[in-house]
Structure 1
């Protein structure tokens, strides 16, 4: 027998086997007190918290849901948010949205004078009418008022040094006078009596249109169908249109009603603000709150809705929701219309103002809301708001998609009081500058600067520009500045 086999036989003797088995058993004896200690610990926890049990522990199935709830309740840890030092402020040129008092460029605009060649209507004084289509008249008046900031900042009397040319086209004034004053339907011979004579005069009696085929000219079309009212619109197409219709939807681009890169979207006028000359600031405190009482109306809307069905093309059916329960909410105020005194009182009390699309995506109500510090609720998928390149509309409006419109009440009530107040303050201190009688021309000119590739330039003559100074500010009268304070 070999030495190896002899050792193996000895190691396999009964005595050695007993010793070996005894050692193996003793090696794991420490597990007994460990298991006992763990069991005692679990019993102690179950005594302290009767809701805890091994059954609860095992029932989690590894996903941790039930256990996490118990752990959170029994071992809650207070969390103190980390507040870091604020970042230093940026220079104006790096901030968005920008300070519109710092101009993007300072161009010169020549305004064509009135002439009998423009048609008999152009030199006839038509009394104001109760329509929402007077934006063209407001903008033209601001340009021609030599005492206005707009005239002082941008207008030149010398067409040879102008970067842009403003055509005093008042097509909506012509049509409104025909439809609402004279009661005539149809196109009212607007082309023969007004549009054609106007364009003939501009294109034939002056040399400036033909220099660029009209690309440096400006024409205002503040009605729903923009230039589609005129058969002679092809003659106007190269001009930049100032329009209240801003629409990204394909159908409006195809029919030419909304030209994404050919138009500048401007605010609409309203009968309350621009014809009755009601100033919302007169009814509110300096920070935009009611002078008496509080904003106890949750949502306000006045307009057409009772005959609208969900499948209608008008408003894409959105206004049908108002006649489907929302008009019964105790803190909503919804009606077809009110008198001006009633409406003013309601505007001072409202938190939110409903601004759904109608025939077009824009609505004049939004400007009444903004003037009275009411946060607009916009439901108009694809809308291009005025001056989106310079105004942060999200900061002072609530936008809801059409597919979520049925949840409007839920969405609005989920907005915290702090978030609402932040929007309201932004609206009052910042959003109002878009109004026609506030900073509209400053914002229009910024858009013209981009179209004319004049960023950072000041006009000296038509063919000569110089760099703007870093400290250049747009001139504003004290009266205009006070309107923002």
Structure 2
């Protein structure tokens, strides 16, 4: 029997079987290690797993435990609540301080200019909207902050409407220049403020406010130096080192504000025409996964415009069945699409900020911001991460993977947050209240109420209510 066994073992066929079995075992181990072992730090692997389905139960015992480490997770009790003044984001329903703002009247020379320069319907009307809120006795901003006595004011508002003048020049008169905006508008306005009234010279303009709603802020004016001491309310917030020379951004001098948009502030479409009071479509579900409206077809990867980001839309994203990407829609068509979208792309254009951000927020669409270095309005008070998604330029090509990896439960929370919280940032909602919160910090007025310029008392509960 032993001899028979030795003869079988030593036969060529048996040796071949042993060699084949060894090779197969080695190949199995190699394939297992290469393709089926995941690193807990591999973001691509994690995204693919979530796409294919944490949502899918694995049959193996290893697949059932989704913890990527060998350690058992520890679940602890939540921490106790902390005092309201230690929490972030803060409660923006309460005033941080209650200063007084004096709004200058239009100088006589400027009133003459307005007779021949009517308002122009462009998205650069934030300057007009904010001024009207301060001049309207029925508005919350007027009731809460405006004083008719300049001697008791903490801040002075210059009714500067430079975008109105320039837009009339460009779009109505069809001029390629600036129509002498400095001689006809800037100098008469600023000379009146600086030479005929005493308030600018008390602080050399440090307590003065003015709005610059266009991309290059004050760089449109040759006489920009005479206004530089004022605090600019601007729609451009930019952290990039070259930004000051490109768009006139002043990180610690400007206050970034929302911009006006065509469909909200010019056509004045009400999102509630298309959505319920809770932010859901009236007639359809949100069946558009990603929506984008804007220029992209002629953008190349190495373009300065949009840092090439929009060129990616031509390389597959626009062919996804549940993406809607185009330009040139009418306001009503665009509003209907917004009411059906889950995510809205907000890639940079000439500047980091674009008006489509505010259109997305107004319609309860979760904005996907692709603009490295952007400063969003009121970041000291508003938790932008709770209702928006930021994707870096270097990850923009992975946009679809990133968005599809977001669990439905997380998306629903963000969408609800956009509707109930994010919309408060819109220009026509709480903007002046949020601007004032920033001014409170700059003048170290937190917790104070102004009696007059040199007399501030503690802000009591009865004065913390925002007037509506």
> Do residues 153 (structure 1) and 141 (structure 2) align?
no
1:385-404 pair list within 5 angstroms: 385-404=376-395
2:454 to 457, 463, 476: 463
SS at 2:242 equivalent:
helix
1:102 to 73, 89, 94: 94
Residues 341-371 of structure 1, C-alpha deviation per residue, up to 9 Å, x if partnerless? Answer: 1111101000000000000000000000000
> Do residues 358 (structure 1) and 346 (structure 2) align?
no
Cα deviation, residue 66, structure 1: 10
Match of 1:233 in 2: 224
> Do residues 120 (structure 1) and 120 (structure 2) align?
no
**TM-score normalised to the size of structure 2?**
0.84
Residues 67-101 of structure 1, C-alpha deviation per residue, up to 9 Å, x if partnerless? Answer: 99xx9728978999876555444443222111112
> Do residues 165 (structure 1) and 156 (structure 2) align?
yes
Structure of higher CA gyration radius: 1
Cα deviation, residue 115, structure 1: 2.3
How many residues in Structure 1 have an aligned counterpart in Structure 2?
A: 416
Cα deviation, residue 403, structure 1: 0.4
Structure 1 CA distance, aligned partners of 2:423 and 2:332? Answer: 22
Structure 2 CA distance, aligned partners of 1:308 and 1:299? Answer: 19
Structure 2 CA distance, aligned partners of 1:421 and 1:75? Answer: 27
SS at 2:128 equivalent:
helix
Cα deviation, residue 178, structure 1: 1.2
Contact 1:146 1:152 in 2 (8 A): yes
Gaps of 5+ in 1: 1-54, 478-485
Match of 2:321 in 1: 330
Residues 303-328 of structure 1, C-alpha deviation per residue, up to 9 Å, x if partnerless? Answer: 10000000100000000011111111
Match of 2:401 in 1: 410
Structure 1 CA distance, aligned partners of 2:66 and 2:262? Answer: 55
Contact 1:267 1:435 in 2 (8 A): yes
Query: What root-mean-square deviation, in Å, do the aligned CA atoms of Structure 1 and Structure 2 show?
Result: 2.6
Match of 1:144 in 2: 135
Gaps of 5+ in 2: 1-24, 39-58
Cα distance change of structure 1 residues 78 and 95 upon mapping to structure 2, 3 Å threshold: closer
Structure 1 CA distance, aligned partners of 2:422 and 2:410? Answer: 16
1:215-230 pair list within 5 angstroms: 215-230=206-221
**Which deviates further from its counterpart, 207-216 or 171-180?**
171-180
Cα distance change of structure 1 residues 463 and 364 upon mapping to structure 2, 3 Å threshold: same
Match of 1:473 in 2: 464
Residues 216-252 of structure 1, C-alpha deviation per residue, up to 9 Å, x if partnerless? Answer: 0001000001000001110000000000000000111
1:73-472 pair list within 5 angstroms: 73=61, 86-118=78-110, 120-122=112-114, 126-129=118-121, 131-254=122-245, 257-470=248-461, 472=463
Structure 2 CA distance, aligned partners of 1:75 and 1:391? Answer: 40
Contact 1:387 1:443 in 2 (8 A): yes
**TM-score normalised to the size of structure 1?**
0.81
Cα deviation, residue 173, structure 1: 0.7
Structure 1 CA distance, aligned partners of 2:64 and 2:312? Answer: 44
Structure 1 CA distance, aligned partners of 2:63 and 2:247? Answer: 65
Cα distance change of structure 1 residues 327 and 295 upon mapping to structure 2, 3 Å threshold: same
